[in-house]
Structure 1
């Protein structure tokens, strides 16, 4: 891992006011893919001398014992329960509203305790617009954290135009049509969740962009060499400063913010395999597949004859009472060349010399982590920004290929072999290694991400 930037004396002094450390307040959206980058940001700011206070919902609450240097303030949220991904948009919208009143009281209390001058700002997830509005009413400056790519953020900004020009709602006959105003996207790559006609999704994205535009700046977990054109577009279209300080997991001290307990025995298991020989398979913390897709995936992996490490987490299979049950005979077919775990320490797995490919849902965190380790990808996107990320992986960066359509074991076998054993996969791996070098340069001394962090710290101390 690239060492985190060493804070300068000036950085520490800027984080101090009246002899006391200034506070940065944080409020993450309570889903794994949003919690991880927020806690990485917390570590980065704490290393630069800021005190950290984390507001959080009871839903997916963090384990405070893992973060002894931070203060945690729980905010009642109406006690939501996990829902199907098709209902996640409604849940996110409801979550912000449910937290608003309690957050106002808790923020006011914290301001009274710290004094307003000691609070530098509140950093909140862009999907929590009511939190931004409460902070504005209490005169607390805000910064917006977008946990997706710069390209995804640009697509959010373009949503009104996409409706005006008829790209949305998505029509089946137009799914492969290029979005001329938003290359390289096709209509099928636009951020859509479930079968919503655009009403709730449109509301969610509109609120996210309102949060960005009314904040004091936008923080992105990306880096210049990966998305220079997209970031230039955001700087052109937004009236707030944009800080591309990623990849955060390479710039921030290590942090344990996983909602699931990883099985670390898989790292020792990987030690027995030659370099770049193992396929790592994980579809993230939220995406779900059908029982049929599980069966076809299992036999496709088995039939490929490629060693594999597969994450089959609780709740990954829709409508299954026993979602850990793999097909009868699958374990025997693995012949000790495969391992199945409920969760894995993903960053360490991708860094392991034995891993030569990653079959992923293409969430942004997973995509960035794979890029930064030079690991090419098989892409199976499910919802939200994952389709757009997969498009960039295959079409722009050319470090992977999509496994689209209905899953069928023969097609799965062929895709795995293309990535892991064919010349095509070797070429993708070479390009992925070039992106890995570019990420290292951006996060190295004098790199673009390090300079962006310096600008962010200066901006924070000016608020």
Structure 2
């Protein structure tokens, strides 16, 4: 009998592709064949980035289907992308499964979909195969989206998801604070996009009821109250390929590994790591203030500067005058970094982060403290975890008049965090507890049970 064959389909965003790819690798290591389905657009980017890394795993086959947009259209237009995904991808996924079932010796036995692509569970039901969902974000965000209709009934939101109250709420007394203005859909400035996203969340909640199994990249140690609200969510995290499998995959950009050699040249607990994920964009003024803030610390720093990190404006994309020359002996800028390897490096002392869930998991799993700089979506909620619940980091404050985080604020907070070891000590305590759960503990056992469930006839 052949190996069980599953479909894995992520939401088409960098922060969703990488953790599901790590789940796929875990499954492949346990004898499960995986067809990993990206959008055509992202598949091409990943293939280019993978050229330097070779094969991921002989049991993982990368393929793709259209997302409904033309190659030149803007994937950051989340409303349009959401609409075209729902119109185009279900039919294309159905065709792909039919093709695999016709041509392979082993038919698809399970669809493992991103939590936010619940429509794929409907496709699994149609084919009569097992239905599993993977949550790549915090369980707290799942609790929030699950309760979207209740928030409307309680008068906190209107029917389009617009906040009617601006004071912070707690879903339960011990859950992290959530400001409705920062809800995932509400911090999108375009109202039409907000409506589309909010309605898709309501529809997704219905689709998720079809899931037989729900796994997540989290840990009971990190979110006990959230798990109490979503009791069917099973943690298998932290999903860190550097711990379980040795390398990450699914990146949209080639990783610049020269920064690892650069880190080797610095003493333990000395380097500031600065990275803002795949989506954050700065205006010219904020970009310059960040550069000056890093320079003013007079400490070694590694800064990930994506090609599209700064807004497209009439102003040229540039560092402050003379910046690169002044920092050449202690600063390094790269376009994309092997982040898990960076954060596990002994020289890294502090992570200035946009607070994406993957970055948080990777940072706290390596005992690193945070300076929080959220941009949108769940990042404000994640900031509450870091600063208020776990107390492993600090917020960066914007200037009241300009809305800019000034270089002096960056310098002051860096100095404060590096002088107060209690933040790092708390992070290291979390590190020990959550990594124990992966190395033979609860998360490891949960993953093994999931593998057995897929394999069971």
TM-score norm. by structure 2 comes to 0.88
* 2:31 corresponding residue in structure 1: 49
* Paired residues of 2:215 and 2:235 also in contact (CA < 8 A): yes
Mark the CA change 1:336 to 1:144 in structure 2 (over 3 Å): closer, same or farther. same
Distance 1:171 1:20 in 2: 51
1:302 correspondence with 2:295: yes
Mark the CA change 1:72 to 1:273 in structure 2 (over 3 Å): closer, same or farther. closer
Mark the CA change 1:322 to 1:155 in structure 2 (over 3 Å): closer, same or farther. same
Distance 1:419 1:427 in 2: 9
Mark the CA change 1:96 to 1:82 in structure 2 (over 3 Å): closer, same or farther. same
- Local SS of the residue matching 2:101: helix
* 1:259 corresponding residue in structure 2: 252
1:112 correspondence with 2:105: no
Mark the CA change 1:388 to 1:314 in structure 2 (over 3 Å): closer, same or farther. same
The 5 Å alignment of 1:159-198 reads 159-168=148-157, 174-179=165-170, 181=172, 183-187=175-179, 188-192=181-185, 193-197=187-191, 198=194
- The offset of 1:282, in angstroms, is 0.3
Moved more, 54-63 or 392-401: 54-63
* 1:74 corresponding residue in structure 2: 64
* Root mean square deviation of aligned Cα: 2.3
* 2:233 corresponding residue in structure 1: 242
- The offset of 1:56, in angstroms, is 2.4
Mark the CA change 1:453 to 1:127 in structure 2 (over 3 Å): closer, same or farther. same
Distance 1:222 1:24 in 2: 23
- The offset of 1:181, in angstroms, is 4.3
* Paired residues of 2:370 and 2:392 also in contact (CA < 8 A): yes
Distance 2:177 2:80 in 1: 25
* 1:371 corresponding residue in structure 2: 364
1:225 correspondence with 2:221: yes
TM-score norm. by structure 1 comes to 0.87
* 1:411 corresponding residue in structure 2: 409
- The offset of 1:382, in angstroms, is 0.9
1:313 correspondence with 2:334: no
* Paired residues of 1:44 and 1:253 also in contact (CA < 8 A): no
1:437 correspondence with 2:429: no
* 1:461 corresponding residue in structure 2: 455
- The offset of 1:75, in angstroms, is 1.4
* Paired residues of 2:219 and 2:443 also in contact (CA < 8 A): yes
- The offset of 1:191, in angstroms, is 2.2
Distance 1:162 1:217 in 2: 26
* 1:338 corresponding residue in structure 2: 331
The 5 Å alignment of 1:359-398 reads 359-398=352-391
Count of residue pairs brought into register by the alignment: 434
- The offset of 1:268, in angstroms, is 1.2
Mark the CA change 1:323 to 1:42 in structure 2 (over 3 Å): closer, same or farther. farther
Distance 1:146 1:381 in 2: 20
- The offset of 1:68, in angstroms, is 5.2
Select 1:273's aligned residue among 259, 262, 266: 266
- The offset of 1:252, in angstroms, is 4.5
* 1:102 corresponding residue in structure 2: 92
Select 2:209's aligned residue among 190, 213, 220: 213
Distance 2:233 2:302 in 1: 38
Unpaired segments of 5 or more residues in structure 2? none
- Local SS of the residue matching 2:447: helix
Distance 2:455 2:73 in 1: 38
Moved more, 179-188 or 401-410: 179-188
Moved more, 314-323 or 379-388: 314-323
- The offset of 1:151, in angstroms, is 0.9
Mark the CA change 1:55 to 1:177 in structure 2 (over 3 Å): closer, same or farther. closer
* 1:5 corresponding residue in structure 2: none
* 1:136 corresponding residue in structure 2: 125
